[in-house]
């Protein structure tokens, strides 16, 4: 078989990336952001092409992402947050609804969004995963922005469709 497999590259040069960071569980979110920003810079994204804003918590991330997507200024977005299980059902609501909102914004506005909102049983798990997840989100954002750009070239203009 000779099937072509397309893989996007990981070069972030010339990209503009928006990051929305929740402040709830601040120390965990700061660790996520530090790793994310470091990986964006390593991936070739220029410091002046990275925009970061903060929101109170994970449920507010989707709103800020939507505002950034509406601006048309970004090649990809990154969501950063931390939801740690507590003693109530609130964990499930925040985890599920924040993930659904992030996904909805990406699909509604056709912009890649890397979801680095950790959902863990305790703070120890969150801190153990923060550096890897933050850096991974940066790499995902760059790769998906490149992929989106490449795949858009495959799309026929609307006027060419039957």
What are the boundaries of each domain within the chain?
A: 17-146
Report pLDDT digits (tens) over 110-152. Answer: 999 999 999 999 999 999 999 999 999 999 999 999 999 988 8
Residue 47: Cβ-neighbour burial (10 angstroms; 0-12, 13-18, 19+): exposed
Angstrom distance (rounded) from CA 125 to CA 108? 32
State residue 162's pLDDT score. 54
Six-digit token pair at 68?
């950034």
Residue 51 CB coordination number (10 Å): 15
Dihedral sign computed on CA atoms, order 109, 55, 92, 30: positive
Catalytic residue among 90, 107, 128, 132: 90
Please state, for a pLDDT cut of 70, what percent of the chain lies above it: 95
Six-digit token pair at 51?
């925009």
Find the helix packing angle between 90-109 and 61-71, rounded to 10°: 10
Fold of 17-146: Rossmann fold (3.40.50)
R_g over Cα of the chain:
17
Those residues with Cβ within 8 angstroms of residue 151's Cβ, 6 or more apart along the chain or in another chain: none
Report pLDDT digits (tens) over 60-73. Answer: 999 999 999 999 99
Q: Is 90 a catalytic residue?
A: yes
């Amino acid at each position: 078989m000779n099937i072509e497999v397309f893989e996007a590259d990981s070069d972030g040069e010339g990209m503009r990336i928006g990051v929305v960071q929740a402040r709830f569980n601040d120390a965990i979110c700061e660790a996520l952001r530090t790793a994310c920003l470091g990986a964006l810079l390593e991936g070739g994204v220029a410091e002046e092409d990275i925009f970061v804003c903060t929101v109170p918590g994970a449920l507010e991330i989707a709103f800020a992402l939507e505002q950034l997507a509406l601006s048309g200024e970004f090649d990809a977005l990154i969501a950063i947050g931390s939801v740690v299980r507590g003693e109530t059902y609130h964990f499930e609501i925040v985890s599920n609804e924040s993930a659904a909102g992030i996904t909805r914004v990406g699909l509604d506005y056709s912009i890649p969004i890397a979801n680095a909102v950790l959902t863990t049983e305790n703070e120890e798990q969150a801190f153990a995963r923060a550096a890897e997840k933050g850096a991974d989100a940066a790499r995902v954002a760059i790769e998906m922005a490149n992929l989106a750009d490449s795949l858009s070239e495959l799309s026929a203009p609307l006027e060419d469709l039957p």
